[in-house]
Amino acid sequence: MSNKYPNPHANKIFTALLQYYKGHGTALRFSTTFQLLCAVILSAQTNDNQVNKITDKLFAVASDSAALAAMSLEQIEELIKTCGLYKNKARHLQQAARIINEQYGGEVPQTREELETLPGVGRKTASVVLFVGFNIPALPVDTHVLRVANRLALADSSTPAGTEKQLCAQLAPELWGDIHHALIWHGRTICLGRKPQCAKCFLRQDCPFVV
């Protein structure tokens, strides 16, 4: 265990993050894996609160892939308009719903390869569905994870793929998803993009970034 993950700095930070954000999962509201997939597709370049406002209404009208596949593009666009990038997202939702309905019997596929063939589903979205939906080890890397991991010297990559590889190599797979959520919450509440709240950060004594 300790010789597999020998970086004392990283181990200390990971432990502190996991403890501090224990129990903080996703803020997205959903009741099925299909709904989770839709919520994550909608979450690009907006915040979870905006997504929840939309999905509360969307899932009331279309709770599964069959119902969503039956909606017109215009209907979907109208419902999701307030989250931005809505034309792409509406098309992705409709097409993904059709594929899941027709090729997967209405059930979201459980492999990364299958998930990433769905329109609107890239590596990050697939990782979220794998971990949150199916409890399969994955470490989704978004802008928060990339920024916070670099500031804390847990990674030094400029790309999500690089950051994911570096983080995964330093953590047991059963912790990948939890550290993802911890880094997300840290990035949202303390380690903000423009104005990091270093004065109130519990990691400042071990953080090389501190401003």
Partner DNA sequence: ATCCCGAGGG
Partner DNA sequence: CCCTCTGGAT
Binding region for DNA (CB under 7 A): 25-28, 43-48, 50, 81-88, 92, 116, 118-126, 128, 140, 142-144, 158-159, 181, 184, 187-188, 192-194
Distance, in Å, from the CA atom of 139 to the CA atom of 152, rounded to the nearest integer, reads 17
CB of 101 to DNA, least distance (A): 18
Toward DNA, which CB reaches closer, 50 or 63? 50
Closest by CA position to 30, among listed 11, 10, 50, 52: 52
Write the CB contacts of 64 (distance below 8 Å, at least 6 apart in sequence): 32, 34, 106
Between residues 11 and 95, which has the closer beta carbon with respect to DNA?
Answer: 95
Q: Which is nearer to DNA, 28 or 152 (CB)?
A: 28
Backbone Cα Rg of the chain:
18
Q: Which is nearer to DNA, 106 or 162 (CB)?
A: 162
Q: Which of 48, 56, 57, 124 is catalytic?
A: 124
Annotated active-site residue 124? The verdict is yes
Token pair belonging to 136: 């399969």
Cβ–Cβ < 8 Å for 95, 119: yes
CA distances from 135 to 17, 127, 165 (A): 20, 10, 19
CB of 4 to DNA, least distance (A): 27
Supply the minimum distance, in Å, between the C-beta of residue 47 and DNA. 3
What's the burial of 208, exposed, middle or buried (CB within 10 Å: 0-12/13-18/19+)? exposed
- Active-site pick, 4, 57, 142, 206: 142
- Report the nearest approach of DNA to the CB of residue 1 (Å): 28
Provide the annotated active-site residues: 124, 142
